[in-house]
Chain A
Amino acid sequence: MNFVLTEEQEMTRKMVRDFAEKELKPGAEERDDREEFSRDIFDKMGRLGLTGIPWPEEYGGGGSDYLSYVIAVEELSRVDASSGTTLAAHISLAGWPLYKYGTEDQKKKFLEPMALGEKLGAYALTEATAGTDAASLRTTAVLDGDSYVLNGNKIFITNGGDAEITIVFAVTDKEKKAKGISAFIVEKDSPGFAFGKKERKMGLRSSPTLELIFDNCRVPKENLLGQEGEGFKIAMSTLDGGRNGIAAQAVGIAQGAMEEAANYAKSREQFGQPIANFQAISFMLADMGTKIEASRLLTYQAAYLESAGLPYGKASAMAKLFASETAMEVTTNAVQIFGGYGYTRDYPVERFMRDAKITQIYEGTSEVQRLVISRYLLS
């Protein structure tokens, strides 16, 4: 247990950091302001090989591991959390279930173009009345000849509207409740598949979040992912790993905010000296740095365990809970260190704070993580 990253992982960090500084930083504020998703950025991530980092080369991937993947999400999010979430949803939520449960044909047809960055992925579980209680979803799928017919609405779908490939969860047997849910691979141009409202959000404003509408949407039978009735298991196991991605996003957001705050504290003078000289400020930075380091170690550990094929559910829940709570605290204090300037849009820390909030909510709220962890403790 030496916590040493491999050369490949270090190189991934350096490459993504350079990319984020050069390609993401200049326009991040403007994209946030306009609530504008940039497909061009995703395409560039594809050319860099980020869109398939953990998948084997035979499926167009980078043949790397989950630790390299979370490092990439962390580095993107350090500069632009919206880009971080685009990649996290693409890989963890859409790519992972395809890789884990897809047939060889499905992997070739769907995972490969996603890994190459030619197609964007999304994951559609949440509905208006099925949030934390995901098993209560109402979207239905009925087998009719050679295809399933989907009906229902999904909300809050990251990459929605732009994704060419969406993993959709629907009820195939209502009687069986959670065990009557199945997963489907739905292509963007499927008949009966439309996009509804685009959400206007507090943060992650350059990551699109849309409603998906299925109105007698026909999906070929061979697009069933896994077996009928396996959908809930697929959905939940996907989220276990997805949490590592969100934890990494939270680490990146917090790191970015702390760096901004530390630089500002060194240059901002009050009472004739840099405010960094005041312990009110420097102690805040010390606590930030420590909690970020702890979050990072939890996140890397969870990603490492997943890569090594060891159980990681508890570790992921802990990483996601601790890192997202830390991100919220750190970004709030970063705004505090900037004072009134931090509250304006002239500096990026208010964006970091707005972006941090969702990490406590999506892919299982902090409360759900606490439930998951406490079950491990008390069982």
Chain B
Amino acid sequence: MPFALSDHHRIKREEFRQFADLEMDTGDHFPRDNLQKAAQRGYYGLPIPKEYGGQGEDFLTYILFVEEISRICASTGVIMAVHTSVGTFPLLYFGTEQQKTRYIPGLAGGEFLGAFALTEAGAGSDAAALSTTAVAVDGGYLLNGCKLFITSGGEADVYTVFATADRSLGRKGISAFLVEKGMAGLTAGNPEKKMGLNRSHTTELRMEDLFIPASNRLGEEGTGFTIAMSLLDGGRIGIAAQGLGLAQASLDYTIAHFKDLEAKGYKAEQSTCFILADLAARLEAARLLVYRAAALKEMGISCLKEASMAKMFVTDLAVSAASRCIDLCGRPAAASDNPLTRYLCDAKATQIYEGSNQVQRILIAREILK
């Protein structure tokens, strides 16, 4: 079934949908209950091999999970996407056997939450410009610097942190380190006040003479930037799945709204129907882009262009879908407690993180112009 979901994927999707609809909560607080329930069902380790305590599912199944939960709570969606795509995969791909056995069963089993610390105040899209330092000392490294906009900062148990031995070396000076919550010298700041994704904590992560044993360096010295870049395709597909869930939520809400009105004798105008039709067609297109990128990744085929296309197209759609649906549903939809405004505010972040959509366009154009 090359162009349709397999029975297994359909069954898993239904399971995730039930979980999201029946088990998950919404609100303002950190979604601890959602995460705990996800952990109990093994969802922390969906695409992680069983030998490391995961579920051994394929990448697309994980993507279906992020999509379905993001319909209900996009904050939980981003936490799980970060935990898996950039919190657990780096260990799976680059960890030593010792590192894998030490951390992955906890991450996959739901005892540990994973996070990823690359961005700094002076290193956003230009990630290689980071200035957090890692100085070699006896038995390990001393890390100093400050990371910014770290998803699950303060909540996560394991961080993959990027630091440079020597800024003059550029990309080749960067290494990756596994940093555990509670290590001396590690402090998370207060959660940023954001326009959306309010349940997901986004913090500074300060490192002051933070000692990291040599056994916690991930990969070889100087390979940090390569590691970070190799995670981007998976990360982007994860965020694209979050965008899918958000766009679907906006459309579902609006369709239900007009079906309600129709039951009361009001028929949706043609202009309304046409906007919904356009959004639905674009959403279907978006979904295919995301699933295709996920399928390529699963098959081990390079999917940088496809992942960028999916991320850009879906997340742009998530924002415009929420905005158009607010237009259609009228004034009550613009109230701050209406889900559509939450979808809009949540969706905005998806256009920015894991490579802004402008960065995606640079990457896609580069491929087209090759």
Contacts and interface: CB of A to CB of B under 8 A. Distances in A.
Interface in A52-108: 67
Contacts of A286: 312, 360-362, 364-365, 368
B2 A2 contact: yes
Contact of A378 (B5, B262, B281, B289): B262
B361 A282 contact: yes
Interface stretch (A201-209, A212-220, A301-309): A301-309
A294 B286 contact: yes
B129 interface: no
B309 A293 contact: yes
B334 interface: no
B4 A378 contact: no
Interface in B1-33: 1-6, 9
A378 B258 contact: yes
Contact of B255 (A294, A371, A378): A378
B273 interface: yes
Interface string B341-368: 0000000000000000010111011111
B333 interface: no
Contact of B268 (A67, A293, A305, A378): A378
Contacts of B142: none
Contacts of B278: 321, 370
B309 A369 contact: no
Tell me the interface secondary structure of chain A in the complex. helix
Interface string A276-300: 1001001101111111011101101
Given A285-B369, A294-B289, A300 B309 contact: no
Given A286-B360, A374-B277, A378-B268, A4 B365 contact: no
A299 B55 CA distance: 34
A262 B292 CA distance: 24
A369 B277 contact: yes
Given A301-B288, A371-B277, A378-B273, A1 B1 contact: yes
B112 interface: no
A310 B365 contact: no
Nearest to A282: B365
Contacts of A317: 281
A266 interface: yes
A182 B192 CA distance: 68
Contacts of A322: 281-282, 284-285
Contacts of A318: 280-281, 284-285
Contact of A293 (B255, B273, B306): B306
B291 interface: yes
B299 interface: yes
Given A1-B9, A3-B295, A265-B369, A321 B364 contact: no
A194 interface: no
B246 interface: no
A298 B288 CA distance: 7
A11 interface: no
Contacts of B276: 373-374, 377-378
A5 B3 CA distance: 9
Contacts of A373: 276-277, 280-281
A283 B361 contact: yes
B274 interface: yes
Interface in B260-306: 262, 268, 270, 273-274, 276-278, 280-282, 284-286, 288-289, 291-292, 295-296, 298-299, 306
Given A5-B2, A318-B284, A370 B364 contact: no
A277 B299 CA distance: 33
B359 to A, nearest CB: 11
B313 interface: yes
B259 interface: yes
A304 B281 contact: no
B273 A262 contact: no
B165 interface: no
Contacts of B262: 378
B280 A290 contact: no
A234 interface: no
Contact of B2 (A288, A290, A304, A374): A304
A315 interface: yes
A79 to B, nearest CB: 19
Contacts of B358: 283
Nearest to B5: A1
Contacts of B292: 3, 297
Contacts of B4: 1, 301, 304-305, 308, 310
Contact of A290 (B6, B274, B313): B313
B60 interface: yes
Given A1-B3, A1-B291, A304-B3, A377 B285 contact: no
B3 A3 contact: yes
A258 B285 contact: no
A367 interface: yes
B169 to A, nearest CB: 28
Contact of B364 (A289, A301, A369): A289
B282 A374 contact: no
A67 B1 CA distance: 13
Contacts of A293: 289, 306, 309
A3 B2 contact: yes
A290 B273 contact: no
Contacts of B360: 286
A287 B358 CA distance: 11
A295 B364 contact: no
A296 to B, nearest CB: 9
Contacts of B258: 378
B320 to A, nearest CB: 14
B306 to A, nearest CB: 7
Interface of A: 1-5, 67, 258, 262, 265-266, 276, 279, 282-283, 285-291, 293-295, 297-298, 300-301, 304-305, 308, 310, 315, 317-318, 321-322, 367, 369-374, 376-378
Given A1-B4, A295-B285, A301-B3, 18 more contacts: A1-B9, A2-B2, A3-B292, A266-B369, A276-B365, A285-B364, A285-B365, A286-B364, A289-B309, A290-B309, A290-B312, A294-B309, A294-B313, A297-B292, A298-B285, A304-B4, A370-B273, A370-B278
- Interface pairs A-B: 6 shortest CB-CB: A374-B273, A282-B365, A304-B3, A294-B285, A297-B288, A373-B277
22 contacts: A1-B4, A3-B2, A3-B296, A4-B299, A67-B3, A282-B362, A285-B369, A290-B289, A291-B313, A293-B309, A294-B286, A294-B288, A294-B309, A298-B288, A304-B3, A308-B1, A318-B284, A370-B273, A374-B280, A378-B258, A378-B268, A378-B276
